Structure 1
Amino acid sequence: MLTQTLPTWLPRLSFAPVNTAPRGDTLVVVFLRGAADVLNMVVPHGEDAYYQLRPSLGIARPDDSKTKKEERTVDLDGFFGLHPNMSPLLEAWQSEQLAIIHACGAPDESRSHFKAMELMERGVDDERGPASGWIGRHLATLNTGNSSPLRAVGMGTRPQRSLSGSVPVSALRSITDFHLGGDLRALQQMRAALETVYAGDILGQETLSIMDTLQKLDVQNYQSPITNYPDTEFGLALKQTAMLIKAEVGLEVSAIDLGGWDTHFAQGSSAGIMPNLMKDLAEGLAAFHADMADHQNQLTTVTMSEFGRRASENGSLGTDHGHGSMMMVSAAMWTAAKSTGSGLGWRKVNSLGQVIWRSQQIIVMCFPRF
């Protein structure tokens, strides 16, 4: 039984002790849908070609005295640096709990968002192979004794493809959605009937217990003692993920989407569409990282996108579909902050001499805790 020292959003509760996963062993996967322009997120400011190819969109070097300081790259290692709107992640980097993996992704070169996302979420390099998602297969290999209906959650109206498989998953746009509806009398009758039906069923009893827990969680009044989440759908998804982890309802995976990254037109450098997305992403992840400080040893957060974008800006002040992308991994198990991939070359990829940021053609899937 929890004590009265709990915050107001999580009142005194009694949790079912059966079939719960080890405290805090949770993987959070953030998919940046639309093919994020990673070269303006983590800027290769040590590469002259970057500025030659992006005369308008390039983010100024950290020591560029002609540019306002708040519009310059925030240096990480002398070669790479964060876009200024990504600077909330600097603390995680400096505390050696953030790794940035450049030039990674799937070998598919179709430039189709839908095909690339499907392959990435299935964890395969072509259309052959299992139809299930890579997270779904990962969960199927674990033997945690966890039968919680919230073992795997897709934040949104339907589960992400990566969660598909033999392990049941839940779609959750809001914690308040996970409860019975109706007036008080009808709810009491429905609950009594369910108690009778599932009296001898451990899974059914656990589900009812978790529903009771979620019924009492107050999303609106939840406040992190350290930081505030951005008032966005993405911020809400991360906040609710934190609440579920702290409530110990057996959450092992939370899949979250942040869309809008297909920036062919008017992408923006210091302000605009993409800088706003980066602000939402970085502020949300930084708030989540700070809020989950007591759970970092059992928590891994990963970001990915279906592919990257061309190194050269286009005539519409945007960027077109490219290839190599980037992943960010936040986990206490990393022994040092890393930005892998400095010194990667530039390469012509077709007869027109168009160039894209190239990589080893690999799929990176990270399981630091599992």
Structure 2
Amino acid sequence: MTSRRAFLKAGGLALFGVGIGGVPTFLARAADSFKQKPAYKKNKVLVCIFQRGAMDGLMAVTPFTDAYLKAARPSLFMSAATLGNNTPLFDLDGRFGLHPSMSSFIPLFKENRLAIVHGVGSPNNTRSHFDAQDYMESGTPFSKTTTSGWLNRASGLLGHDASPFRAVSLTSSLPRSFYGDNEAIAISNLKDFSIQMQGNPMGTNMAAKSFEELYDQTSSTLLKETGKESFDAIKILQKTDVSKYTPANNAVYPTSALGTSLKQIAQLIKMDVGLQVAFAESSGWDTHFNQGTGTGVFARNVNDLSSSINAFWTDLDTLQDEVTVMTMTEFGRTVKQNGTGGTDHGRASCLFILGNDVNGGKVHGNVQPLTVENLEDGRDLAVTTDFRSVFSEVAGSHLNIHNNAILFPDWKESRIGVMRG
């Protein structure tokens, strides 16, 4: 079967939502030519959220009994005790406290559905956003030559006939995680599912009518056949008025980019279009100055993250057993605050995993007392859990993917017990 990646290379296409106008008519026509099949059967779905900018894991999930952290962050340290007008952390286990703006996570943690992994990160010690994100999304932290992303490889390992909506990123362009030979699409808005030309000799930003002519007249069998294959499920989208979607259980999504993306992922899951791997992004985590504590930019970000995920989980209703959500960020922040009330690029951070097959209600990982001798390079929370240990365990347990030689080349498998079984 010709891969979508080959189609992208041959036709110079990138799928995403731009402008207004709904599903282009030529896509609907391509779908019409496809023999009708029943809706795709419900599959297990992995939803990954990348927090771009490097989240301060020590503020999101604080080892509040650590005197060294308190000394290193005189104006940023937060306590689980009620002191004056300060809003306390939510005490998770007597050692770690959850940021008060993440209150919507507390019931999920208490129900053992939400797990936290702390001290997690890349074995590559780069503090470059671009490089660290690239390494994490490729899944090869010491190779810049990897052409595919780990989620694309995961999609290819699922082992049965793929829906064109098997791997979907709710972003304006395809993320590095989805690069590769297996089908993957980026859609920024289901309501405005549209098409844009990139790098085509006939010019960029071609109108749908011009592309329709190109599609009809091309002599490229690859373009014709793969185009129809890639849009098999368009008819399902066309028949659904996504603008009238009503979340279940009165779930209220934030109006943020992340909230909107997760709402649309919930729609795709319920529409039975064959979704198995979904991707969304959250930005604004590069808190070099005025980070804040109970209020401020960090508090707003973690509130949006937790509220968006909680709304998504509530909305899933009876489909919760089929879905696992996992967050990730390229690295953490320095233990010591800087002179502008913020934190600089560090090493380890934490991540969150939500699902009914998650070993939840625990803070997993190894965080040593934050003395100088325990810090990486004398300044950062040390990486004690390789991100691949978490990603592979989640993919193995939830999606039944166990070929780590392909999923994460040049890495030896090690479980940390974040998933049940």
Q: Aligned residue for 1:317? A: 341
Q: Aligned residue for 1:287? A: 311
Q: Aligned residue for 1:66? A: 84
Please say if 1:159 is aligned against 2:174. yes
- Measured after TM superposition, the shift of residue 180 of structure 1 is 8.1
> What is the distance in 2 between the residues matched to 1:338 and 1:202?
49
Which blocks of at least 5 consecutive residues in structure 2 are unaligned?
A: 1-34, 197-208, 400-421
Q: Aligned residue for 2:9? A: none
Q: 1:160-175 residue pairs with structure 2 within 5 A? A: 160-175=175-190
Shift in alpha-carbon separation, 1:342–1:47, aligned structure 2, 3 A: farther
**Counterpart pick for 1:272 among 276, 293, 296:** 296
**Counterpart pick for 1:357 among 366, 381, 392:** 381
Q: Aligned residue for 1:210? A: 233
Shift in alpha-carbon separation, 1:58–1:140, aligned structure 2, 3 A: same
> What is the distance in 1 between the residues matched to 2:120 and 2:375?
24
Q: Name the amino acid aligned to 1:211.
A: I
Q: Aligned residue for 2:160? A: 144
Q: Aligned residue for 1:253? A: 277
- Measured after TM superposition, the shift of residue 297 of structure 1 is 1.5
- Measured after TM superposition, the shift of residue 343 of structure 1 is 4.9
> What is the distance in 2 between the residues matched to 1:353 and 1:26?
38
Number of aligned positions between the proteins: 341
> What is the distance in 1 between the residues matched to 2:113 and 2:374?
39
Shift in alpha-carbon separation, 1:258–1:353, aligned structure 2, 3 A: closer
Q: Report if aligned partners of 2:168, 2:279 keep a CA contact under 8 Å in 1.
A: yes
Q: 1:15-164 residue pairs with structure 2 within 5 A? A: 16-17=36-37, 20=40, 22-61=41-80, 63-68=81-86, 71-127=87-143, 130-146=146-162, 148-164=163-179
- Measured after TM superposition, the shift of residue 221 of structure 1 is 3.0
Please say if 1:308 is aligned against 2:332. yes
- Measured after TM superposition, the shift of residue 78 of structure 1 is 1.1
Which blocks of at least 5 consecutive residues in structure 1 are unaligned?
A: 1-14
Q: Aligned residue for 2:246? A: 223
Show CA shifts across 1:96-115 (max 9, x none).
Answer: 11110001111111211101
Q: Report if aligned partners of 2:375, 2:381 keep a CA contact under 8 Å in 1.
A: no
With normalisation by structure 2, the TM-score equals 0.74
Give % identity: 33
- Measured after TM superposition, the shift of residue 274 of structure 1 is 1.2
- Measured after TM superposition, the shift of residue 293 of structure 1 is 2.8
> What is the distance in 2 between the residues matched to 1:95 and 1:116?
33
> What is the distance in 2 between the residues matched to 1:128 and 1:159?
18
Show CA shifts across 1:102-147 (max 9, x none).
Answer: 011111112111010000000012125632101111111221322x
Q: Report if aligned partners of 1:230, 1:280 keep a CA contact under 8 Å in 2.
A: yes
With normalisation by structure 1, the TM-score equals 0.83
Q: Name the amino acid aligned to 1:87.
A: S
- Measured after TM superposition, the shift of residue 171 of structure 1 is 0.9
- Measured after TM superposition, the shift of residue 58 of structure 1 is 1.4
Please say if 1:338 is aligned against 2:362. yes
Q: Name the amino acid aligned to 2:234.
A: M
- Measured after TM superposition, the shift of residue 72 of structure 1 is 0.9
SS of alignment partner, residue 30 of structure 1 = strand
> What is the distance in 1 between the residues matched to 2:358 and 2:312?
18
* Higher share in helix: 2
Q: Report if aligned partners of 2:293, 2:299 keep a CA contact under 8 Å in 1.
A: yes
- Measured after TM superposition, the shift of residue 210 of structure 1 is 2.3
